[in-house]
Structure 1
């Protein structure tokens, strides 16, 4: 599974990428709400909560080849 662009704060937030990340976050137990393809407040908060498990300073963004993805 690949992303075309980054998802989250300051990301490209292409709808299919956002849906992928929303589904993965939900599978990881960090609910971003329903997978609607919109990178809103709930999705960005879920990304940050997920990142808190392995990043000292969560950035709220999932980059194509970054540590979150």
Structure 2
């Protein structure tokens, strides 16, 4: 149950980040330097979240297999 909650939380964060990025692209067509830097930082956050999700999922699977033994 904990694993499902954590995965849903991370997926919701990713969706919010992606929607926010799309809003920035549509609102500011000129793309100031600030927005470019902000988007790069946000993309790094998204990639880190995905990596953390994969790592956490593998860890919980390992813990589940240990519990079953």
TM-score (norm 2): 0.29
Larger Rg: 2
Higher percent of residues as strand: 1
Task: Give the TM-score normalised by structure 1.
Answer: 0.29
* Higher percent of residues as helix: 2
Relative contact order (C-alpha < 8 Å, sep 6+): which is higher? 2
